[in-house]
Structure 1
Amino acid sequence: MFDQHVAPMAARKIAKKEHFKRAETYAAEYREAARNTVEAKRAARKEGKFYVPAGAKVAFVVRIRGINGLAPKVRKVLQLLRLRQIHNGVFVKLNYSTLRMLQRVEPYITYGYPNLKTTRELIYKRGFGKVGSRAKGWSRLPLSDNRVIEANLSKQGIICMEDLIHEIYTVGPSFKQANHFLWPFKLNSPKGGFSKKGKLIHVCEGGEAGNRGELMDGFVRKML
């Protein structure tokens, strides 16, 4: 009986070491990026210029309104974004076509640009994997074990939670596969409720709909 468990236990130890090494590598990469940003801001200030950060690559989108009064095109776009239910959230890679889609359904969603902490908290606290196939049916599995991730994304070089977080946050070459693996996030109603002006009003006018930019982090934390 003991001999049967030696190989799996040894393999898990090796896997844990690899996961830890990758996490350290990513942490160093994030620190380096933050340091470069600070240095770029200082250099711009010295020269009397303004530092303009690179545009966001990924947005986190949350559906805030139900099905009442949905036009067919709006319904279709929400389905393409995988936002089939109220308070569902998804990551979206930003490009010309996805920005057009977000603009079309803006009265029904709120979105913004999550930082690393928010991305990590979403995946760790609310992350579920989409396992199976269209023919046999999909299963929603909690990401409580790295083996679930490895079994479905190892071909893309993603074998643990930190790999998955890094791929989503940096919009890596396998973002599409990693994002498709993540089941749409099921979030709570925000603590304290929505603003008094309501969901129909744009964020710029004190409401809830539309682009929050970097303020999305605070909104997401109220829904976790």
Structure 2
Amino acid sequence: MSATVKTTVPSVKDVLIPETLLKKRKTDEKVRAANQARSESQRKARKQSRQVLFKRAEQYVKEYKALEREQIRLRRLAKSKGDFYVPAQPKVAFVVRLRGVSNIAPKPRKIMQLLRLLQINNGVFVKLTNATKQMLQLIEPYVTYGEPNLKTIRELVYKRGYARINRQRIPITDNSIIEEHLGKYGIVSVEDIVHEIATAGPNFKAVNQFLWPFKLSNPNGGFKQRKFIHFIEGGDTGDRESDINRLVRRMN
């Protein structure tokens, strides 16, 4: 009878694992643990940031409502005494360019370059001071402007707002973009930008420079037949006060 030879198959425990593979596994485990810890910390930070943003938004809403109630109170008080209520002078104007580059004098051309109104239907926010009022008077035949309300400012920033980063037009898709470039001013969200513009805050210039000039469309229904005549004469140019909100809504 022939003898049978038994062959033993080595188990997994008996197989020696190369040292390089063991090191790689340990490194992968450390990287995985670090990534999990970082994602957890980022999640907590985002949660805290959202809570701060919600509180700020609520504070802004209370501030806007309080201001509106105060204006109503003053108007009623003046009416009860037989007087007229004169609202405060606007602090911010929204300027829209209406004419091209042809037949423009050097000084108005330079002013529109300073205001970054480089194309037709471009719009920018301008803080009203004595200097900027004089500049607007010089370029009245080529632009139209007026006092934007809160709704107009918010719609422009949310619908047409782009950031100017390294001379490039970048869409504002996340509040982190705002926080990265305006966080040193305490501005970390779109609502902070809207509030800074609406109130002409101390960081208005930084916010305005951060925003790319708004590119608007031709208004629904078109401009008036006499486009380059002053607004008070039946045209479109010059100061149109609160009527700028109606125009922007047609162009937005």
Q: Match of 2:248?
A: 220
Q: Match of 1:135?
A: none
Q: Match of 2:224?
A: 195
State how far apart, in whole Å, the 2-side matches of 1:221 and 1:83 are.
Answer: 19
Q: Secondary structure at the match of 2:240?
A: strand
1:72 maps to a residue whose letter is P
The aligned runs of 1:1-224 (5 Å cut-off) are 1=32, 2-132=36-166, 138-197=167-226, 199-224=227-252
Q: Secondary structure at the match of 1:141?
A: strand
Shift of 1:178: 0.8
State how far apart, in whole Å, the 2-side matches of 1:200 and 1:128 are.
Answer: 29
Specify which structure has the higher proportion of strand: 1
Shift of 1:157: 0.8
CA distances 1:15-49 after superposition (whole Å, capped 9, x unpaired) = 11111110000000000000000011111111111
> Which entry has the higher C-alpha Rg, 1 or 2?
2
Q: Match of 2:24?
A: none
State how far apart, in whole Å, the 2-side matches of 1:8 and 1:97 are.
Answer: 46
Gaps of 5+ in 1: 133-137
Equivalent residues, number: 218
Q: Secondary structure at the match of 2:188?
A: coil
State how far apart, in whole Å, the 2-side matches of 1:4 and 1:175 are.
Answer: 35
Q: Secondary structure at the match of 1:214?
A: helix
State how far apart, in whole Å, the 2-side matches of 1:11 and 1:141 are.
Answer: 24
2:128 maps to a residue whose letter is L
Q: When the two structures are superposed, what TM-score results if normalisation uses the length of structure 2?
A: 0.85
1:27 maps to a residue whose letter is V
State how far apart, in whole Å, the 1-side matches of 2:144 and 2:85 are.
Answer: 27
1:7 maps to a residue whose letter is S
Q: When the two structures are superposed, what TM-score results if normalisation uses the length of structure 1?
A: 0.95
State how far apart, in whole Å, the 1-side matches of 2:125 and 2:136 are.
Answer: 12
1:150 maps to a residue whose letter is E
Shift of 1:144: 1.7
Shift of 1:142: 1.1
Shift of 1:4: 3.2
User: Percent identity of the aligned residues?
Assistant: 52
